[in-house]
Amino acid sequence: MITFENVDVVYPNGFKGLKNVDLKIAKGEFVAIVGLSGAGKSTLIRTINGLVPYTSGTLTVGDTVVDPRSRSKLRRLRARVGMIFQSFNLVNRISVLNNVLVGRSSMTPTWRSVLGWYRAEDKEIAFQSLERVGIVDKAYNRASALSGGQQQRVAIARVLAQDPEVILADEPVASLDPPTAHQVMRDMRRIQQELGITTIVNMHHLDLARSYADRIIGMRAGEVVFDGPVEEATDAV
């Protein structure tokens, strides 16, 4: 599904964000990327949807080569690859439902999304997505009125509404308290199992990664230093 061949990222200031990364991630896998702050986890995940352009090697998603220079190809890629962030990135002043409908925007003519006129079919999908993360009762609340865990579940629903092949989550639980972090990880795991969506999650807690992932990729200083099943991942990762 996702293949990195000798992928490097050199940032504009000359800093090497990724060094010679070789990885194959199969369809439907749940992969946790672990490492200390600054290890390159976010850089790795962001190359997959072109948010960070890679500077050498080859990166493919499905049968498409990621081409960071082509805006139209990136747009098509991002429709297939949903992303979740540490800070939720919701629009606070609009409703939960309208936040989830943003996930339908690539399927909606611009004039309709500007006016907030979504098709009944899109609303149906948005409600189904909210149901899947258990917060359909919050559909008409403002996003800013929800707790952190609930806001992250809205972000997951927004990604689901986009019907993605891949979900990338960049430290999705780093700003949540431990019970809420577990709850959000459980939701992501359940969704991957129910829908078979390839899921890649960055985190700095190995224990949390061990509890939910199939496979762990350990990073240090822009390099992959461990890649294996959860059972083989030790604290040395």
Q: Which residues bind ligand ADP (CB under 6 A)?
A: 11, 13, 15, 17, 35, 37-43, 145-147, 149-150, 180
Least Cβ distance, residue 15 to ligand ADP (angstroms):
4
Which string of b and e fits 2-41 if b means at least 16 CB within 10 Å? bebeebbbbeeeeebbbeebebebeeebbbbbbbeeebbb
Q: How far is the CB of 112 from ligand ADP (least distance, A)?
A: 30
Nearest CB to ligand ADP, comparing residues 42 and 113: 42
CB of 111 to ligand ADP, least distance (A): 34
Nearer to ligand ADP, 40 or 164 (CB): 40
Closer CB to ligand ADP, 125 or 139, in the complex: 139
- According to DSSP, the residues that pair with 81 across neighbouring strands are 166
Query: What residues contact 128, with CB distance under 8 A and at least 6 apart?
Result: none
Strands (E), 142-232: 166-170, 198-203, 215-220, 223-229
Q: Which helix (H) or strand (E) holds 76?
A: helix 71-80
- In the bound state with ligand ADP, the residue whose beta carbon lies nearer, of 122 and 171, is 171
Question: What tokens does 31 get?
Answer: 């992969």
Residue nearer to ligand ADP on the CB measure, 33 or 159: 33
**What is the smallest separation between the CB atom of 68 and ligand ADP, expressed in angstroms?**
14
Residue nearest to ligand ADP (CB): 149
Comparison of 86 and 108: residue with beta carbon closer to ligand ADP: 86
Residue 221 beta carbon to ligand ADP: minimum distance, rounded to whole angstroms: 8
CB of 212 to ligand ADP, least distance (A): 17
Do the Cβ atoms of 79 and 36 come closer than 8 Å?
no
CA-to-CA distance for 110 and 136, rounded, in angstroms?
26
Output the six-digit token pair for 84. 């979740």
Q: Is 117 exposed, middle or buried (0-12, 13-18, 19+ CB in 10 A)?
A: exposed
